[in-house]
Amino acid sequence: MSDWLGSSPGVFIGLTVILFGAAAFMTGRAIAITWRPSWQLYPYGLLLGLTNRFFCFALFEEDLLSVGGFILDTLVILAIGTFAYKVTRAYKMVNQYPWLYERAGLFGWRERAGS
C-alpha cells in the first residue's frame, strides 16, 4: 500500500490529508472569496502537491520521486480545495445577492421564485 501512496498511511493521513488538506481548504476559500476563477486552484494545488512530496521526503525519509504518490497527494489536495471553493462560492452568492438567489444544496444556488 505504501508503494501506491508514496508514503506510509500515517504520513499520508497526517501530512497530506490533515496538514496540506487544511492549506488546500484555505486556498480554495481564498480564491472563492476574492471572486477569482476556479482554474486558479490547479496551479496552487500543483504547488501544494510538490511541497507535500518534499515534506514527505525531508521529514519522514519517504521516496521523493514517487510519481504515484505525487499524483494521489495532488488529487486529494485538489479535491479538498475544490470542495472549499464550491461551498464558499455558493455561500458568497447567496449572502451577497439575497434578493436574487437562495441556497440549493451545499454547492449550489438558484434564483428566487419572486425574482
pLDDT of the residue at 58: 95
Mean pLDDT for all residues in the chain: 93
Is 20:48 a contact under the CB 8 Å cutoff? yes
- Residue 42 DSSP one-character state: H
Cell of 73: 497527494
Reported as a single tens digit per residue, the pLDDT across 3-37 is 677 788 999 999 999 999 999 999 999 999 999 99
**Does residue 72 sit in helix, strand or coil?**
helix
- Please give the Cα distance from 83 to 68 (Å, whole number): 22
**Residues forming beta bridges with residue 109, ordered by sequence position:** 103
**Does residue 109 sit in helix, strand or coil?**
strand
Place of cell 444556488: 109
pLDDT of the residue at 101: 95
